[in-house]
Each structure stands twice: as C-alpha cells, then as structure tokens.
Structure 1
Amino acid sequence: MTKKAIIPQDILADGVDYAVLKGTPVRKGTVAAFIANIDLLESPNASAEDKHQAIRTLLDLAPSIVAIGLHQHVSFKNDFVTSIIMEAQKRN
C-alpha cells in the first residue's frame, strides 16, 4: 500500500457536502464549527445562553471529530472540551 499526501478533494470532492467516516456522517466545516464553538464557550463576552448552545453543539459535533481522528493528533487546552471528546470516543 502506498502512502501519499491527502488533499481536501481526496476527502470531499467538489460539490460534496459530507463524507461517511467510520460509519459517521461528517459534514464539511465540522472542524471549523467545533473550534468556533470552543472559542464561543471560552469567550468572556458570550452570554450564558450562547455558551449553553455552544456546549450543545460541541456535544453534537464530537462524534464527527472522533470519526475524523482529530483528537488523536491535537490536545485541547480546555479540559471540558477534552471530556466531551473522551465521552464521544467511548460511545464510538
């Protein structure tokens, strides 16, 4: 088996909005949305409701992050986010 560099189009061809990875549908923009919600959760200017919605979204996106394998290559500075990922990994 030859190992070669992967470009974004190898994962999602032009015009495709999602891929199924390890049995989990992963929509384009998932990683960016996950990070944006971490930023919102950590923002001192975010309202309690905004933070609550960010947490719900992080919980929803966590299985996709696990399917992508991002958690195997990065460490999140936020322990709460790490716990969300660990819980999603247990369920996968």
Structure 2
Amino acid sequence: MKAEDILPDNINIANFAGMQIRKGTVAAFIANARIHLAPSSTMEERQFAQTDMFEALPALQAIGVLDIFKIADAGLRKLVDEHLLASSGNQT
C-alpha cells in the first residue's frame, strides 16, 4: 500500500477511527519533537512544540502510530506517556 492509496493527492483530510485527521499530522509531530529535543531551542519554542505535539496525540492514536512505533528518546516518551495517561482520566 502506498501513501496515495490511503490519502490521494487531492484530499487533505481523512476519517480514521471516527476522527478527522489532516494530511501532515505525523510529519508535524516529528518536526515538533525535533524542536522540543533540540538543545538550541528556547524554552518558548519547546513549549509551543510540546503543545502542538499534545494536540496531535489523539490523531496519532487513531491511526495507530503509537501502537506501532516507540518514541526513541526516553524523556520525550515519558512526557508523551504521562500526558496520555493524564488526558485519559486514569491518573493514579
């Protein structure tokens, strides 16, 4: 299967697991993760990147990205896992 089989060039949004997901969501998450992890990023840049990453998480879950891929950076993985736990209402 190729990308255009999932989302043709002329379509920018698709429905996955009942959620409207925009083309580019995964790439945007990766770009924001890189900003968040870059030593040269300012605290403000990291905060904006973190907010954007958190907003993308429901879409990434809907398409199964987090079921297949593991975030390599342990600190970022912990941040994402803690956010997902808190947003699911399963805080301990």
> Under TM normalisation by the shorter chain, which class is it?
0.7 to 0.9
Measured in 2, the distance between the counterparts of 1:34 and 1:10 equals: 22
1:60 is the counterpart of 2:59: no
Aligned equivalent of 1:3: none
Q: Any stretches of 5+ residues in structure 2 without a counterpart?
A: none
1:41 is the counterpart of 2:39: no
CA RMSD across the alignment: 1.7
Query: Matched residue pairs, number?
Result: 85
1:25 partner SS = strand
What code does the residue aligned with 1:46 have? S
| C-alpha contact 1:62 1:84 (8 A) present in aligned 2 | no
TM-score, length of structure 1 as denominator length: 0.81
Select which of 7, 10, 13 maps to 1:18: 13
Q: Any stretches of 5+ residues in structure 1 without a counterpart?
A: 1-5
| 1:33-74 deviation line (CA, Å, top 9, x unaligned) | 001101111111111111110011011111110011000111
Aligned equivalent of 2:81: 82
TM-score, length of structure 2 as denominator length: 0.81
What code does the residue aligned with 2:20 have? P
| C-alpha contact 1:58 1:84 (8 A) present in aligned 2 | no
